[in-house]
């Protein structure tokens, strides 16, 4: 599935400052905003159903011992949707019905895999982290929209193992991330943003990092239609009963051309890419179209001057 490409200004622009920061960038979260709902909800939930039906093991996984925390996530999610987003679902006598898709689910069918059901009710991907000998471990996940990683390769691994390929993570983020996970309070959920520029608008992507092949077909003239901004709105919340941490990922994809009406954001993105260390540029596969991207953004700024 390709993301909806209606031309509009991006909803989130974490690159707007023109600086690249290798930092957690956490902000306090009001739980009424735990889940982000927009006009793409029906399309994205239908895409989740397709992926869960056609390649379930690629987009859902859990390990023994995660069952109770999964059920806790589901009940917290149902309560939040009913209170903060009335009308999206109805929950009665053990059955959940989704308004936009008309799908109905029996909780009893998901008794041992409750996160599977939870992931079908929101646009976010859901990752459940539990304490382990080497730090917090990915214990279960409903991951229909991965940003170029494979769930099966990360399930059961600690944070360092999950992020071992991320340029600069071990040096700059490992200790603060581990410290944050240890001390996160159940009543202090947080939100952060992550961003990339990509050459594929698909929400489900399991490969594509570390590409070095120059993409001559992408030029400064057509980059607006050939490249996309991919932003992840990520939340972290400690579960009050199990003590595990739920990490949610809501993915937004906008064509690069959506910056045409916002030259200020074009300038910010150009600066942030220029400020990004080369190792991170390689990790994010920016190098194949780096010059075309810079030229396109420069042209937008010149036209706006």
Gap between the Cα atoms of 243 and 240, Å rounded: 6
Judge whether residue 6 has pLDDT over 90: no
pLDDT at 7: 65
CB 90 within 8 A of CB 79: no
SS3 content of the chain, % helix, strand, coil (to 5): 40, 20, 40
pLDDT greater at residue 8 or residue 231? 231
Reported as a single tens digit per residue, the pLDDT across 8-32 is 889 999 999 999 988 899 999 999 9
Cβ atoms within 10 Å of 276's Cβ, excluding its own: 20
Judge whether residue 2 has pLDDT over 70: no
DSSP label of 126: E
Closest of 209, 219, 305, 218 to residue 266, by C-alpha: 305
pLDDT at 5: 42
The three-point CA angle 160-161-162 to 5° equals 90
Gap between the Cα atoms of 7 and 41, Å rounded: 18
pTM, entire model: 0.94
Closest of 143, 150, 147, 157 to residue 60, by C-alpha: 143
Enumerate the domain spans of the chain. 27-304
Judge whether residue 4 has pLDDT over 60: no
**Average pLDDT of every residue of the chain:** 94
Reported as a single tens digit per residue, the pLDDT across 84-136 is 999 999 999 899 999 999 999 999 999 999 999 999 999 999 999 999 999 99
Reported as a single tens digit per residue, the pLDDT across 159-199 is 999 998 998 999 999 999 999 999 999 999 999 999 999 99
Q: What is the largest CA-CA distance in the chain?
A: 61
């Amino acid at each position: 599935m390709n993301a909806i490409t209606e031309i509009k200004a991006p909803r989130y622009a974490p690159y707007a400052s023109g600086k690249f920061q290798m930092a957690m960038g956490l902000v306090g979260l009001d739980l009424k905003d735990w889940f982000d709902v927009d006009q793409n909800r029906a399309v994205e939930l239908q895409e989740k159903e397709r992926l869960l039906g056609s390649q379930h093991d690629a987009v859902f996984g859990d390990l023994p011992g995660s069952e109770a925390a999964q059920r806790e996530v589901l009940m917290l999610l149902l309560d939040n949707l009913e209170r903060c987003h009335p009308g999206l679902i109805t929950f009665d006598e053990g059955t959940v019905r989704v308004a936009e898709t008309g799908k109905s689910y029996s909780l009893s069918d998901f008794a041992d895999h409750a996160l599977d059901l939870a992931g079908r009710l929101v646009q976010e991907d859901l990752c459940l982290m539990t304490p382990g000998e080497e730090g917090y471990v990915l214990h279960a996940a409903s991951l229909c929209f991965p940003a170029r990683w494979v769930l099966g390769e990360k399930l059961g691994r600690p944070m360092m193992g999950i992020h071992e390929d991320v340029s600069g993570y071990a040096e700059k983020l490992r200790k603060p991330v581990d410290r944050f996970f240890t001390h996160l309070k159940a009543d202090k959920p947080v939100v952060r943003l992550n961003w990339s520029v990509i050459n594929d608008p698909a929400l489900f992507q399991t490969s594509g990092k570390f590409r070095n092949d120059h993409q001559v077909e992408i030029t400064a003239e057509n980059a607006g239609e050939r490249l996309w901004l991919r932003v992840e709105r990520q939340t972290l919340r400690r579960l009050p009963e199990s003590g595990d941490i739920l990490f949610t990922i809501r993915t937004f994809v906008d064509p690069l051309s959506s910056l045409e009406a916002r030259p200020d954001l074009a300038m910010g993105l150009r600066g942030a890419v220029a400020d990004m260390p080369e190792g991170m540029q390689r990790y994010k596969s920016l190098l194949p179209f780096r010059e075309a991207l810079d030229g396109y953004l420069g042209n937008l700024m010149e036209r706006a001057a």
